[in-house]
């Protein structure tokens, strides 16, 4: 893996797939987490992401361990309003893209630069409008 485009002091953001792969100790995500530690990046996810990642087959102890190692940012009214504005800016509807919008708003509110690990970069790239680096995992 090449060196991360994320700069020291920034934020690494995990979407539901990034968090799920972290729980599974996926090699790519584990490498990103090690780089984040080395570069002193804050590692976060949105509380809204937990809705997507928690399901009956997930290893709950492994999930809880991973969540204890990252920051789960709350889904506040300010974040929700920002998410709604991001959706409106790109003409997407909250019914389908609400959690992506919440994650994007959380990333953009975090200390920059923000780097988002995701399996679906198109929507997050549109929502963030170039204000965050979006990496497909």
Q: What is the pLDDT of residue 5?
A: 53
Residues 23 and 59 sit within 8 Å (Cβ to Cβ): yes
The CATH number of whichever domain residue 36 belongs to comes to 3.40.50.1010
On whether residue 3 sits in a domain, the answer given is no
On whether residue 5 sits in a domain, the answer given is no
On whether residue 24 sits in a domain, the answer given is yes
CA angle 8, 135, 74 (to 5 degrees): 70
Which token pair is 135?
A: 């990496």
Range of the domain at 18: 11-136
Distances (CA, A) of 105 to 42, 63, 75, 93, 128: 16, 23, 10, 15, 8
On whether residue 34 sits in a domain, the answer given is yes
Q: What is the pLDDT of residue 8?
A: 55
CA nearest neighbour of 50 among 12, 102, 87, 11: 102
On whether residue 105 sits in a domain, the answer given is yes
Count of structural domains, the chain: 1
Residue numbers of the chain with a pLDDT score lower than 50? 1-4, 6-7
Q: What is the pLDDT of residue 56?
A: 92
């Amino acid at each position: 893996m090449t060196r991360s485009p994320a700069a020291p002091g920034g934020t690494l953001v995990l979407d539901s797939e990034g968090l799920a792969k972290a729980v599974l100790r996926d090699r790519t995500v584990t490498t990103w987490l090690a780089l984040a530690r080395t570069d002193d990046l804050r590692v976060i996810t949105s509380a809204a992401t937990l809705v997507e990642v928690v399901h009956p087959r997930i290893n709950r102890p492994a999930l809880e361990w991973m969540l204890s190692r990252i920051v789960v940012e709350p889904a506040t009214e300010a974040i929700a309003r920002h998410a709604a504005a991001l959706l409106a800016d790109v003409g997407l509807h909250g019914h389908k893209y609400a959690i992506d919008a919440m994650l994007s708003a959380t990333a953009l509110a975090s200390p920059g630069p923000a780097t988002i690990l995701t399996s679906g970069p198109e929507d997050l790239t549109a929502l963030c409008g170039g204000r965050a680096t979006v990496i497909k995992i």
